[in-house]
Structure 1
Amino acid sequence: MSSLFEAAGLENEAPRPLADRLRPRSLDEVVGQDHLLKGEGPIARMRKQKRFASIVLWGPPGVGKTTIARLLADESGLEFEPMSAVFSGVADLKKAFERARARRQAGRGTLLFVDEIHRFNRAQQDGFLPVVEEGVITLVGATTENPSFELNAALLSRAQVLVLKRLEADRLELLVQRAEAELGRELPATSDARTALLELANGDGRYLLNLVEELFALDRDEPLTPADLSTYLQRRAPVYDRDRDEHYNLISALHKSVRGSDPDAALYWLARMLEGGEDPLFLARRIVRMANEDIGLADPTAIHAALAAKETYDFLGSPEGELALAQAVVHLACAPKSNAVYSAYKAARKAASETGSLAPPKHILNAPTRLMRDEGYGDGYEYDHNVEGGISGQDYFPDTMKDRPVFYEPTDRGREAAIGERLANWRKLREQRRRK
């Protein structure tokens, strides 16, 4: 049969992609995951002890999750049974478990590899528990999502989560060198273009090898330049899921960059989220929160800038309105910081929950009826505007509160410095009045 294919100029099998041809043949050939595979790494220890437990491999695309699972099966002598949670359901799981039980009776174990394991619902995830506990299967799950949020606690307690890292430039360069050795020629690219190619891959080894294969297929005489790459290769959209882990990671980075007074980092994370397709109004709401939580009265104009950015975006839309969000982010990042009001409000809420039934002192109560006047409502109240300096120094806490709490303590930054001086004088006046 093969001679017929050859006579027709055809191959028995379809040509395999470069990424598949370069798939590591042993765990020692896997790049970029030495923290798991070398020294005292968890997989290295399993190999030494020849005891392979169920694991969940968590990491970005193209860093070796499937490869590691396949090689673990080869090294441990287990039957490798792959499935994808995207295309499989309860019936597929039951069949896989039945095959694993049959193998076990024949004296052979099964490594069940479940790609995108987070796509299984809670009930489906619970289905793994008995077969893992009984040792029917060794489970290796792969996910790009945070297992803490996406996987059952019961399943996580039976499988060790191992975090895979995105591939750094030197590891990606090693993959390019392997491709050159496989194809027997150098990549047709200048050194600058080669560096740009590694950046395009964004830590994804499989994607890099696909790009390399495209460049080799061009069969050019002249080396490619960085400008040529933009012509021949399409830049991949940033990895960003608006409703998943990356969303929370990036908004945390933006908020903390603003809090840390770094406008450049704040602009970078803002741009990353907008480029990834984040809802600008979600960002506007978070910017308003930053103004209240992290700046407050140190710069009272911050909240106005944040609200103005939201109104401007509503008026202009994208992309023009995004500049208003950027302006607000820079304003907040450059502003003096204070969480004094934020902390004061939390402390006041705690005190209110603990003393919620105490009545206000009678001297600050209104007395619209004769009975209320007879009961002493409003007795001794001093109208602050009629007092020199505009403050009477009266006590406004409930009479039965022994200690007068101080919730708001201004910082010495921005406008709060002047507020702090005023409050210190007023608190001193109240203390003097209480002692009389």
Structure 2
Amino acid sequence: MFRSVLVANRGEIARRIFRTARRLGIETVAVASDADLEAAHVRDADRAVRIGPAPAAESYLSIPDLVAAALESGAEAVHPGYGFLSETAAFAEAVQAAGLIWIGPSPEAIRAMGLKDSARERMIAAGVPVTPGWQGDDGSEATLLTAARDLGWPVLIKAAAGGGGRGIRRVDNGADFAAALAACRREAQAAFGDDRVLLERCIEAPRHIEVQVFGDAHGGLVHLFERDCTLQRRRQKVIEEAPAPGMTAEVREAVCAAALAAARAVDYVGAGTVEFIADARDGLRSDRIWFMEMNTRLQVEHPVTEAVTGVDLVEWQFRVAAGEPLPLSQDRIALNGWAVEARLCAEIPERGFIPSTGRLEHLALPEGVRIDSGVEAGDEVGPYYDSLIAKLIAWAPTREGATENLAEAC
């Protein structure tokens, strides 16, 4: 096992990774922009390195500055957290080129799953069911409109390089297609620097089901069952739970097998999440769940999986990155109870839940549930990063008990 780790991130996820590192006796190194020099994650770490001005593009998204910080600190490994550069193959390559341990999948796997269109093609070749749709090189409006008509309205136009709910437009008829396509391309170019799109049939009674997978460098690959992330606002997850409500043994076997096939297709090593869309008009059915994308990192909602399996996923990340085999085989991973997670954000509900900024004069988080928090009372919620304050994770033997525990905590 390596002796020190730099977390190339901030806030809640940095603090959560530090917690496992401390338990394992690993020295922790934080990075901080000028806006975060006195932040909670900096206070938690054994050491901290300044990486640049407050704007993320000049700090948390600066590969040269992050690698330089890791080398300056003497850290042996780099954990990217989630968001920022966590799914950037060039960052993984730069870390490895500097002689450091990258805690994540290979750059090749990140690239393979980074573009939705090429990922769809790879999944089709691997026999993984994908949402009916279109992807290709001829992205002309005429070609896309013809493909949309063949799929049948409504359709989704999606950014090929998209993620986080951005670069998506629903279109209900041909008359609205051109305007929606242009808007989607503008958003995709602004958000991802890539205006290519693909089409998917719009599932009108959708469930968002995702499967946690984990691979090692020795050929080991397991799943840790599924999560349900259907409750969203503006395509952003707000409530997540594990396992998925209404999941049968047959459907679970099918969707978990598909997730493993997806991971196997890119020789996946580390923690990853394979996301599926389900047509739930008649409940969950094995022939109505399709691959959407794979997130090649730790997910925000990973604590619900930890709660129902008893596995510390960050510890597994550390051990696999250090060259160890997976700690458990598939037959030793079992579901136990139910877990539900709610995200607590600084927002203004009466203004459409836009982010709110300022000093947290008072912050009292409840007992009786797991709290993963990025701030403490007296800290600032600034304008430069996301407005997540904390995640509240409740567990109980049943779904009813878990939701009651969460409601009481909130």
Greater strand content:
2
Greater helix content:
1
TM-score, normalised to structure 2's length? 0.22
- Which structure has the larger Rg over C-alpha atoms? 1
TM-score, normalised to structure 1's length? 0.21
Higher relative contact order (CA 8 A, sep 6+): 2
